[in-house]
Amino acid sequence: MKVYALLLLLLFFLFFTSIFGDLGLKLAKCQRKIVKISNAKCGDSNQCSNVGMCQFNKPNEDSKFIWPNLPTKLKKHVVKRLDYVSRCRLRKCSTSDQELVDSCPMHWNGIYVSLTQASLHIRFSKVVTMEYFRKNNDRIEIKFIEGQSFCKKTREVVDSKLNHYNVGIADFLLMLKNQSTTCQEINFQNLESIDTEDQYRFIQSLLFHLSSMNSSWKIHSKKLYTSLVTTSSQLLDILSFFCPNTLKCITMKEYSFNAIETKALVNTGHWRNAECLDLQHENNISIAEFLHSKTFWTVVPKLEPSDAWAVIENYREKDGRPRGSTFYIRSISPLEIQNILNEYDVPVDNMPVESPWRKDSVLHTQKFPIAGSELVLVVMLMKFEITGKLCLLSNIEEDCYNYYTADPDLD
Ligand SMILES: *[C@@H]1O[C@H](CO)[C@@H](O)[C@H](O)[C@H]1NC(C)=O
Ligand SMILES: *[C@@H]1O[C@H](CO)[C@@H](O)[C@H](O)[C@H]1NC(C)=O
Ligand SMILES: *[C@@H]1O[C@H](CO)[C@@H](O)[C@H](O)[C@H]1NC(C)=O
């Protein structure tokens, strides 16, 4: 019986290798070749090298296996394995390669867009960094870590005001153009202190490019982090280009919203759907507006004891949030510790635990068990801060010690 099974297996094996083996082997070779070619340097940085002209042993030996003649399905498999730089190089080879690359959606771990005094950095999935330099005469110098050109074909670049921001942003958006492309995180930040004027120019340029995308186009990113100096209304505009169903985490530094903008912000689908909200600047958004999220950080002018209690009650709900969910509220005026403790509906009991906070800064720690659950809510009061975290009862020390963050791992 065993022998028959083995024989049958062998037969199947022979059958499949005879049909697909040849093609499979060639493709494997092809992928190696492409990766190899794409690691080589191009002579003229704006010209297509022979990327994609994937040739085997001898040219013309078998024209079926020349890159342009491979079936699209196979080519797509290859493109999916290419990194950012290789995709860009292939994209510039021909119209069909451009269409091929654009029709292969990507999954980026993160895209980090950073401003420095002299340049715009764009880092794709922590692997490839492109740097677009400012030049006095407005010519742009573009440098990849591998010393290559950028992603657009010459005839695609129609912008007359070709400063380094415009080129960088155009490349950045090109990589998000396909609506099946997803991204774990998009991050806009300054790497050094920069003229506000420059940041303003960058945001203007970004908004210009965003609004020239197809009207239904959205960025499918799970997280948005921004610390660029901009007006809060521009920030709301940028937010509107993110898909509200995909976006789960919003971190914003350096913004103050007026009453109208605050209302607009909390009414966006993005805010309503968010699982983590992280506002690191003083704001007037009421605590109740944060309570649908799993984790939030905020800074308020003054925290009312009744609000502090409302948060504790909300986090203590049975079958509510998962382990690790955290809240952190900083109040500009000192907390009324005694008044907060007076709100507690259980005997007040200070039971300190190890935490990342300085021991002498934590004035009171209370553990709120959650009935019928393995979780316990650990609430710490400090002079200006209240923070709480859902920890596993059997693992309190470790759970509490893990760094408090507004940025939990999603999914
Ligand atoms: C995006 O990718 C899909 C494949 O998932 C493809 O069918 C579609 O044509 C692409 N869109 C564009 C604009 O190329
Ligand atoms: C915009 O998107 C729609 C639907 O996806 C498509 O039919 C149309 O061709 C796109 N327009 C442009 C200018 O890309
Ligand atoms: C909050 O609201 C008060 C009263 O309307 C106002 O004086 C204060 O500037 C606001 N603070 C912020 C950070 O918006």
Proximal ligand: closest to the CA of 98: 1
Q: What is the mean pLDDT of residues 186-196?
A: 86
pLDDT higher than threshold 50 for residue 251: yes
Four-CA torsion 82, 88, 90, 93, nearest 10 degrees: 180
pLDDT at 38 over 80: no
Pairing of strands 141-144, 182-190: unpaired
- Residue 312 has a pLDDT of 97
Percent of the chain with pLDDT over 70: 75
Break the chain into its structural domains and give their ranges.
Answer: 2-104, 106-274, 314-411
- Whole-number pLDDT of residue 153: 65
Q: Is the pLDDT higher at 10 or at 115?
A: 115
45 pLDDT above the threshold of 60 = no
Q: Is the CB of 267 under 6 A from ligand 1?
A: no
Does residue 49 carry a pLDDT above 50?
Answer: no
Tell me which ligand sits closest to the C-alpha of residue 213. Answer: 2
Q: Which pLDDT value is given to residue 328?
A: 95
Question: Residue 380 in contact with residue 400, Cβ under 8 Å?
Answer: no
d(CA 391, CA 293): 17
Q: What mean pLDDT do residues 173-191 have?
A: 91
Q: Nearest ligand to the C-alpha of residue 260?
A: 3
50 in contact with ligand 1, CB cutoff 6 A: no
What pTM did the predictor assign?
0.80
pLDDT of residue 319: 79
pLDDT of residue 409: 57
8 A C-beta contact, residue 240 and residue 219: no
pLDDT over threshold 80, residue 309? yes
> What is the DSSP secondary-structure string of 318-368?
TT-SPTT-EEEEEESSPP-HHHHHHH-SS---------SS-GGGEEEEEEE
Helix (H) or strand (E) holding 143: strand 141-144
* Tokens coding 30: 């092809």
Calculate mean pLDDT across residues 262-277: 95
Please tell me the distance from the alpha carbon of residue 184 to that of residue 29, in angstroms, as a whole number: 31
pLDDT at 247: 96
pLDDT tens per residue across span 210-245: 999 988 999 999 999 998 888 888 999 999 999 999
pLDDT digits (tens, 9 = 90+) for 395-405: 888 888 876 66
How far apart, in whole angstroms, are the C-alpha atoms of residue 344 and residue 308? 10
Cβ of 105 below 6 Å from ligand 1 = yes
- pLDDT for 406: 53
How confident is the model at residue 22, as a pLDDT? 41
Any idea what DSSP says for residue 373?
S
Q: What is the mean pLDDT of residues 138-160?
A: 54
Q: What's residue 127's pLDDT?
A: 73
Ligand 3 centre from 243 Cα, in Å?
A: 30
Amino acid identity, position 186: I
Taking 70 as the threshold, does the pLDDT of residue 24 lie above it? no
pLDDT at res. 201: 87
d(CA 209, CA 206): 5
Average model confidence (pLDDT) across the chain: 80
Q: Which among 188, 146, 152 has a CA at the least distance from the CA of 167?
A: 152
Closest CA to 89 of 147, 32, 173, 139: 147
Name the residue of 260, 279, 283, 284 to mutate for ligand 3: max ligand atoms within 8 A of Cβ.
284
Model confidence at 277: pLDDT above 80: yes
Question: Which residue out of 175, 180, 216, 217 has the highest number of ligand 1 atoms within 8 Å of its CB and is therefore the one to mutate?
Answer: 180
Q: What is the CA(182)–ligand 2 centre distance, in A?
A: 19
Separation of CA 232 and ligand 3 centre (Å): 15
Amino acid symbol at 165: Y
